[in-house]
Amino acid sequence: MPGSKSITNRALVLAALADRASTVHAPLRSRDTNLMAAGLQSLGVGFADGPDGSWLVTPGAMRGPAQVDCGLAGTVMRFLPPAAALAVGDVTFDGDPHARTRPMTTILDALRALGADVEGGSLPFTLHGKGGVAGGVVTIDASASSQFVSGLLLSGARYESGVTVRHDGKPLPSMPHIEMTVAMLREAGVVVDDASPNEWRVEPGAITGRDWHVEPDLSNATPFLAAAAVTGGEVTIPGWPARTTQPGGAARDLFERMGCAVTLTDAGLTLSGPEKLVGVDVDLKDESELTPTVAALAALATGPTRIRGVAHIRGHETDRIAALVTEINRLGGQAEETDDGLVITPRPLRGEVWQAYADHRMATAGAIIGLVVEGVSVDDIGSTTKTIPDFPGMWTTMLGTSMHGTR
């Protein structure tokens, strides 16, 4: 599997703000991470390719004028503005048409409160950089995305007074992503106090340049594991870590609950699919990016599945709850929206075009169902380049080796 998008983009921001050059080993090279690299380069950060596919990142004088294309990448539109606020000059952010509908007010209002000059409340917007940010204490409602907290923390050490972020609102989604941010900051020598619930304090100081080693992306691995789950086959993901801060690590337990056999050895994580998948009642608040994969499995299971705690994914690349319900029902299934998720009751499915909504995880969900239901096609499999450089090639290779009885 290619490297983790979440780890790669956090490492790139930290490397860009560090006190010396850093090397990011085994980074993901996909649309989201290429957009992050391009955005940082436009601000004066140096990037060079290493012989092993690594990125050598050299901090530079952060200067505008610059134009940043966010695409549909939440990490770019929420992690890069706090860093760009340190630049001198104007930095303008924009993205794909749907990106203009994604929640941004929280991060932009927080930057204003911390001393940044921001024009606009959503994409497109412009930062009028003054070469620094005062920093201090800011209270936000990050219930729509944990990325609001992570974005402020990643650059906070470079603010004059550091930053203290307090969350006031509904329970935070995707806490493992904030824990990942805190862990990586500490690896870069930044002092972070997260002892109080819903509060994070980053002390001002240097960010240390270092070697970053990126784990395989575990969330992106789940469609390949799901291929074995729905066909009764077997798939091994090499390099699966024994311990991780990635939310995708929770997939192990999820697959086991649905009837799969999962083992972790030195060779990697191996999943063997059951004769029949079983439905589950599961809260995915911390692992919401797994929702499309779990929904695809649920549509092919033998009993109903209820997915809870994922109301915030209505604001992702698309409204994933509405999209999943629409597409499962289009194939003849039975799916219903709830306030914070969806309920799926298995019914015989038929071949139809599965709409991806320009959403990489919707596309892979359709590919999973298409392994079992004849005649299913995904309208925009190219949307997977957002986080997987060559999903069609990897998928075809996996199926081809299985058909020939080899690994």
Which residues sit in the known binding site? 5-6, 10, 74, 102, 145-147, 174, 289, 316, 320, 361, 386
Q: Where is the binding site for phosphoenolpyruvate, in residues? A: 5, 74, 102, 147, 320, 361, 386
Instruction: Look up residue 383 and give its two tokens.
Output: 């949307």
Q: Can 289 be counted among the known catalytic residues?
A: yes
CB 133 within 8 A of CB 61: no
CA distance 193 to 141: 19
Buried b (16+ CB within 10 A) or exposed e, 96-135: bebbeebbbebbbebbeebbbebeeeebebbbebeeebeb
Q: Where is the binding site for 3-phosphoshikimate, in residues? A: 5-6, 10, 145-147, 174, 289, 316
Q: Tokens 């001198």 map to which residue?
A: 88
CA distance 231 to 274: 8
Indicate which residue of 215, 289, 317, 327 is catalytic.
289
DSSP, res 111 = H
CA distance 61 to 82: 15
Q: Tokens 């990050």 map to which residue?
A: 142
Measure Cα distances from 352 to 344, 375, 383 in Å. Answer: 18, 6, 19
DSSP run (H or E) holding 364: helix 360-370
The set of catalytic residues is: 289
